[in-house]
Structure 1
Amino acid sequence: MATETAEIEVETLRAEFKGDIVTPDDEPVYDDARRVWNGMINKRPAMVARCEGVADVRAAVNFARDHDYPIAVRGGGHGVAGRAVVDDGLVIDLEPMNWVHVTPEAGRVRVGAGATWGDVDRETQAFGLAVPGGVVSDTGIAGLTLGGGMGHLRRKYGLSCDNLVSADVVTADGEFLTASEDSHEELFWALRGGGGNFGVVTAFEYDCHPVGPDVAMCFVWFDGAEAPDVLRSFREYAPDAPDEVSLLPFYAWVPELPEFPEASWGDPAIAVLGCYAGTPEKGEEELRTVRAFAEPVADFSGTIPYVELQTMLDEDYPSGRYYYWKSLYLDALNDDVIDAVVDCAERCPVSLSTVDIWQGGGAVSRVGETETAFAHRDAPYGLNFEANWDDPRQTEAVIEWVRDSVAEMEEFPEARGQYVNFPGLEEESSEVPFGENATRLAKVKADYDPDDVFHAHGNLKPGPE
């Protein structure tokens, strides 16, 4: 009887749906439809609604609400926590809604929620423009923006969410609205870094900035034994660095690639990846300081097309690999903190992993703590333990390493918070990433989703009016 009821429900949705409805009966299409970037995520939704447009999204939301299905929303499906899929629920898949419309004279771009940053870069760079996005090109624009969005341009032009001008949203009651500074202002505030549980954003409008076509970048690898000294040099350089510079030092292991000296393959290393968001000539001069932090093992720095920089890390993050990332912010990189970060990194059980330190400050820190939902803006550093592995037999050891490392770093008074997009598997309270903004977010939730229709992942419960 339950099976018959489910079939009737599916047919009810299909009758008013233009896109495809995929259920477990639709093998092998179903396995493709439920698969996301993180191979560790293996969930089985009751159905996947592949939306062709806003009308499909409204139909899917109304159906899920009326039949009490948990909802997951998939944009690019790249979120490390697996928020794009849910067991026994309905996945609203926006991937077919993949379009990019640039208005170069206005310095604006409108983007469908199924687009990736690679899609956006390709179109905006045709006009010498860019929106601050992520550092892997097949990351979806939707999840990254709603969680903040840290990338190579962050210190010059801010986070992805700081460049959001408006957002088209289907709310929990199936209504369509546009949120901006002038309309549904509180919802617009929440969408800028507050996560995605306030409605389904179907389109994003961004400000663009003059970037490229070529940019200066540094990508230099030093011996792992130099890690403490390199991080101390980074600590001395970072506070006075020009806004055009955004650096990302990370502890890693030298890959077995011909670009690296064979004698160094497999060795621990400390690498620094950075971008200069200005004229390449000035950038190359400025980044020489970074390249001289120690004697390099390999140095790939230079001037390259911006779109090439944006795809540089893609091969390191293939779809289907296992990923588990957890983060926090640091108010200082004193010697004790540096030593602890390096000690944690050295205990990592898998060499595909990295320990990343994101340089903060610049434009990110000049937005007030409560101007958007994104919190901890004043933190000068973000720390991310990024476990990446291919052998499922290593899963338990790798997750334990990340959790133990984060717990150890949280003991330092310099540590606080969590980046929305790097939350492990969301083990902590959903309030942790939002700091003092959590209460206001809960009130927005009460206004736009009082019945908690969007509750499957990273959710803040509706709060008091």
Structure 2
Amino acid sequence: MSEVIKNKQTVQEINDSKIELFKAQLRGEIVQVADPEYNNARKVYNGMINKHPGMIVYCVDVADVMACVNFGRENNLLVAIRGGGHNGGGLGICDDGLVIDLSGLKFVRVDMATNTVRVGGGNLWGEVDHATHPFGLAVPAGIISSTGVGGLTLGGGVGHLSRKYGLTIDNLLEADMVLADGSFVTVNNHQNEDLYWAIRGGGGNFGVITSFKFQAHPVKTVIGGPTLWPIEKTEEIMSWYHDFILNAPDDLNGFIATMVIPGPPFPEVLHNKMFCGIVWCYTGDSSDFDALFQEVRDKNPVFEHVGEMPYPAIQTLFDGLFPPNLQWYWRADFFNDFSEEVRAAHLKYGSSIPTPLSQMHLYPISGAASRVGKEETPWAYRDAKYAGVIVGVSPDPEDAPKITQWCKDYWEALHPYSSGGAYSNFMMEEGQERVQASYKHNYDRLSEIKKTYDPNNLFRVNQNIKPKT
């Protein structure tokens, strides 16, 4: 059996009568190339992505998703699944094929008896936070509220609550999904257990998730915000931070960054200057915070804006800086330590950031996230200490070459000191070798499951796991 059935035709090659028959099966809207809303409909979060699908279907229920999957498979179309559209590599869209858009599958239902939350496959994390916050609950997610629930979850889910409550996948209890053959299944730890294992980090390779069930946790108010040091102090701060965060209680999370302060709401004296920064989030007893945080203050940050806030506020802290349609280029790796060479590279490239929104982040994988076995989920790097990402960002398309080059140069300087693979949600389209490196010892098991449920690789517009041959 071949790994992949090549897309034998584009949407434009399908005769009109077939398309009309397909439309009759749907409640949702179809957008095609000639439609006036087409150019807006094909946009994704990353403005650097410029793909032209043959058809975009806005699904409103599971039946629409099943019809789309069947139509794509029966017509040998390239199929992409779009949730929030945030994927850096634009893997929620494709050229010439069918885009299954899930933005109409939205609901959030909180069960106070079990502290669980059911979420639609098209929801954004800000919508989940809005629904759970009045109940004093939160689900571990990322750091930008406009991120889609589906994409972030299926790749792993690293964010402010990772040290306290683990990755998003560690809190995924169940999912409903449409498989490549058009059938519908529920997966959890006692139904379709192999699929349940695979979707907790294996990406969108195994089907279209139409709903999720998460374990939520008691999080109402946090203490959080940034501390900044001059970029010249990067090596000193990184060395100190490594020891501090590894030994900090799980209640304290902080990701370290090299960045430029682009403007408001920061004070004018900081604008357009480069810094080594840490963005903190503390979920513990507020009366214990000052004593815990004194060691940070002893490092004399030039700016501190850390205070008590509702959890949704820290989740939206950066939303205003990163609206849709900016130019983005991403590179990523996992790291175990900050050697002298690593710290020197961060100082060098953090001192030459090309645009005010470009930056580097390192997210800690210690605490609860590190206490899950490296084979319990496909997320193979539980023993890594950090998930690193470098992003070149600009509103100006003319900046695309320079932000891309800076990002690549920064990554190439650090990669020899990395753990070998990357967090899949931080990757562009980088080839099969990088995908395999990012799943390590779990790739073969994922490939076997892929062979069982998607032997012809219908779902391949993703960080693709090829079916076992």
The normalised TM-score by structure 1 is 0.95
Aligned residue identity for 1:153: L
Aligned residue identity for 1:221: L
Who is 2:246 aligned against?
239
Q: CA RMSD in A?
A: 1.6
Cα distance 1:124–1:263, how it changes in 2: closer, same or farther (>3 A)? closer
SS at match of 2:342: helix
Determine the C-alpha separation between the residues in 1 that align with 2:180 and 2:432: 25
8 Å CA contact 2:47–2:327 kept in 1: the answer is yes
Who is 1:266 aligned against?
272
Quick check: 329-338 or 139-148, which moved more? 329-338
Within a 5 Å distance, the mapping from 1:16-415 to structure 2 comes to: 16-27=25-36, 29-212=37-220, 214-257=221-264, 259-260=266-267, 262-293=268-299, 295-412=300-417, 414-415=418-419
Aligned residue identity for 2:289: G
Unaligned runs of 5+ residues in structure 1 are none
Aligned residue identity for 1:192: R
* Deviation sequence 1:254-280 (CA, Å, 0-9, x none): 2222632x3332111111101112222
Cα distance 1:53–1:187, how it changes in 2: closer, same or farther (>3 A)? same
Determine the C-alpha separation between the residues in 1 that align with 2:13 and 2:175: 39
Determine the C-alpha separation between the residues in 2 that align with 1:278 and 1:202: 34
Residue 349 of structure 1: how far off its partner (Å):
2.1
Determine the C-alpha separation between the residues in 2 that align with 1:221 and 1:280: 22
8 Å CA contact 2:169–2:201 kept in 1: the answer is yes
Determine the C-alpha separation between the residues in 1 that align with 2:122 and 2:457: 24
Aligned residue identity for 1:143: G
Determine the C-alpha separation between the residues in 2 that align with 1:321 and 1:113: 25
Who is 2:6 aligned against?
none
SS at match of 1:216: strand
Aligned residue identity for 1:423: M
8 Å CA contact 2:333–2:388 kept in 1: the answer is yes
Aligned residue identity for 1:244: D
Quick check: 114-123 or 247-256, which moved more? 247-256
Who is 1:451 aligned against?
456
8 Å CA contact 2:260–2:353 kept in 1: the answer is no
Determine the C-alpha separation between the residues in 2 that align with 1:350 and 1:370: 39
Determine the C-alpha separation between the residues in 2 that align with 1:5 and 1:82: 25
Within a 5 Å distance, the mapping from 1:421-460 to structure 2 comes to: 421-427=425-431, 429=433, 430-460=435-465
Determine the C-alpha separation between the residues in 2 that align with 1:149 and 1:304: 22
Quick check: 61-70 or 10-19, which moved more? 10-19
The normalised TM-score by structure 2 is 0.95
Cα distance 1:282–1:26, how it changes in 2: closer, same or farther (>3 A)? same
Determine the C-alpha separation between the residues in 2 that align with 1:102 and 1:32: 33
Cα distance 1:156–1:258, how it changes in 2: closer, same or farther (>3 A)? closer
SS at match of 2:255: strand
8 Å CA contact 1:284–1:303 kept in 2: the answer is no
Quick check: 350-359 or 203-212, which moved more? 350-359
* Deviation sequence 1:265-323 (CA, Å, 0-9, x none): 21111111011122223234323322432x33321101111111111011121101011
SS at match of 2:145: coil
8 Å CA contact 2:429–2:463 kept in 1: the answer is no
- Pair 1:15-2:24 in alignment: yes
Cα distance 1:425–1:283, how it changes in 2: closer, same or farther (>3 A)? farther
Determine the C-alpha separation between the residues in 2 that align with 1:266 and 1:339: 22
Quick check: 274-283 or 226-235, which moved more? 274-283
8 Å CA contact 1:81–1:426 kept in 2: the answer is no
Cα distance 1:287–1:18, how it changes in 2: closer, same or farther (>3 A)? same
Determine the C-alpha separation between the residues in 1 that align with 2:114 and 2:194: 25
Determine the C-alpha separation between the residues in 2 that align with 1:280 and 1:24: 55
SS at match of 1:314: coil
Determine the C-alpha separation between the residues in 1 that align with 2:230 and 2:156: 32
8 Å CA contact 1:216–1:281 kept in 2: the answer is no
* Deviation sequence 1:107-138 (CA, Å, 0-9, x none): 10000011011111111111101100110001
Percent identical pairs in the alignment equals 37
Aligned residue identity for 2:61: G
Determine the C-alpha separation between the residues in 2 that align with 1:4 and 1:186: 37
8 Å CA contact 2:259–2:358 kept in 1: the answer is yes
8 Å CA contact 2:226–2:278 kept in 1: the answer is yes
SS at match of 1:424: coil
